[in-house]
């Protein structure tokens, strides 16, 4: 790691302005960088040997932050990682947290997060990974929570429709609690073609929704190889996507509740898929 001796003291410093701009998607996309805030996320990024470009430290938390990163300072992965110290008020301009912990990592976009506009059918035929499809999830906190549950429950690939919220949104990164660094994602432009490719590979695809003709989850014998589709928090699953699925399935709940949060529903589906009922 390269430790800069001088403390950055101006909120108008060009680098500070640049780093603060990464809170917005257009600037993250242009720079191909995202922010991971806090001690836990920085430590998880270091453990995973992610491509960290900068580690930003607030002056008042300098000793604690340096102690956190010290075990990784000489690792070849981080030979070009620059460590910068900022006055607390300057650091706060960059942070998106209400109570900053004094450390932010700026990380290159990850090569296991990909976008796909032409569906590779062969990929799905050869893959035995557990997958989950998220369709139009707009709340970054929900997306992060789903990813955290997915990693905990053994899902290896998350499939995202084009209109799902940005993976690199700071709230998504924070909510995923480091799990985002341990799962592959594929953002697709044509969801119907994706579903057909999954079905051609022998997977069943189930839309998680309560609509006419929907059947209880317990009735389909869902297996780890099947794919559940979790839809938008407010509007559910687009009808074209729903029609392309093998069936619509629902989770029976109390009549006192209208629906489940998308992240909770996803976690229940993934839990049910942990064991193959046919084995």
pTM (2 decimals)? 0.90
Sign of CA dihedral 205, 209, 211, 212: positive
Residues of the chain with CATH 3.40.1280.10: 113-272
Predicted confidence band of residue 275 (pLDDT cuts 50, 70, 90): low
At residue 124, the pLDDT reads 74
At residue 278, the pLDDT reads 52
Q: Each residue of 105-159: pLDDT tens digit?
A: 999 999 989 887 667 667 777 788 999 999 999 999 999 999 999 999 999 999 9
CATH 3.30.70.3040 fits 113-272, yes or no: no
Residues of the chain with CATH 3.30.1330.30: 2-108
Sheet holding 205-208, edge to edge: 113-116, 184-188, 157-161, 131-134, 227-230, 205-208, 247-250, 215-216
Over residues 85-110, mean pLDDT: 96
- Out of 50-54, 133-137, 275-279, pick the least confident: 275-279
- H-helix or E-strand containing 114? strand 113-116
| 257 half-sphere exposure, CB direction, 13 A CA radius | 7
DSSP symbols for 146-196: HHHHHHHTT--EEEEETTSPPTT-HHHHHHHTTGGGGSEEEEES-HHHHHH
At residue 274, the pLDDT reads 80
The two structure tokens encoding residue 278: 């046919």
What's the gap between Cα 4 and its chain centre?
A: 31
- Out of 19-23, 162-166, 255-259, 267-271, pick the least confident: 255-259
At residue 10, the pLDDT reads 97
Phi and psi, residue 44, nearest 5°? -65, -40
Torsion of CA 72, 75, 79, 80, to 10 degrees: -50
Over residues 54-77, mean pLDDT: 96
Q: Each residue of 214-248: pLDDT tens digit?
A: 999 999 989 999 999 999 878 889 999 999 999 99
Q: What is the mean pLDDT of the chain?
A: 93
What's the gap between Cα 241 and its chain centre?
A: 22
Question: In angstroms, rounded to a whole number, what is the distance separating the alpha carbons of residues 238 and 209?
Answer: 11
Say yes or no to pLDDT of 270 above 60.
yes
Among the CATH numbers 1.10.40.60, 3.30.1330.30, 3.20.20.80, 3.40.50.720, which is that of 2-108?
Answer: 3.30.1330.30
């Amino acid at each position: 790691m390269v430790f800069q001796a001088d403390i950055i003291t101006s909120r108008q410093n060009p680098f500070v302005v640049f780093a603060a701009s990464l809170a917005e998607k257009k600037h993250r996309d242009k720079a191909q960088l995202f922010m991971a805030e806090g001690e836990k996320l920085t430590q998880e990024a270091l453990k995973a040997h992610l491509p960290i470009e900068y580690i930003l430290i607030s002056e008042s938390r300098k000793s604690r932050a340096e102690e956190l990163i010290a075990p990784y300072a000489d690792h070849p992965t981080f030979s070009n990682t620059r460590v910068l110290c900022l006055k607390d008020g300057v650091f706060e301009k960059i942070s998106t947290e209400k109570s900053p912990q004094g450390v932010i990592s700026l990380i290159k976009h990850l090569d296991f997060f990909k976008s796909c506009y032409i569906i590779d059918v062969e990929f799905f035929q050869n893959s035995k990974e557990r997958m989950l499809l998220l369709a139009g999830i707009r709340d970054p906190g929900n997306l992060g929570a789903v990813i955290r549950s997915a990693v905990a429950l053994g899902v290896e690939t998350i499939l995202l429709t084009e209109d799902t919220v940005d993976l690199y949104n700071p709230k998504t990164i924070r909510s995923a609690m480091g799990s985002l660094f341990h799962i592959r994602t594929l953002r697709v432009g044509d969801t119907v073609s994706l579903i057909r490719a999954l079905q051609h590979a022998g997977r069943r695809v189930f839309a998680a929704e309560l609509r006419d003709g929907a059947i209880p989850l317990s009735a389909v014998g869902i297996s780890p190889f099947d794919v559940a589709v979790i839809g938008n928090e407010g509007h559910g699953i687009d009808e074209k996507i729903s029609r392309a699925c093998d069936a619509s399935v629902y989770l029976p709940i109390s009549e006192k509740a209208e629906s489940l949060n998308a992240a909770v529903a996803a976690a229940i589906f993934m839990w049910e898929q942990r064991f193959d009922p046919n084995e």
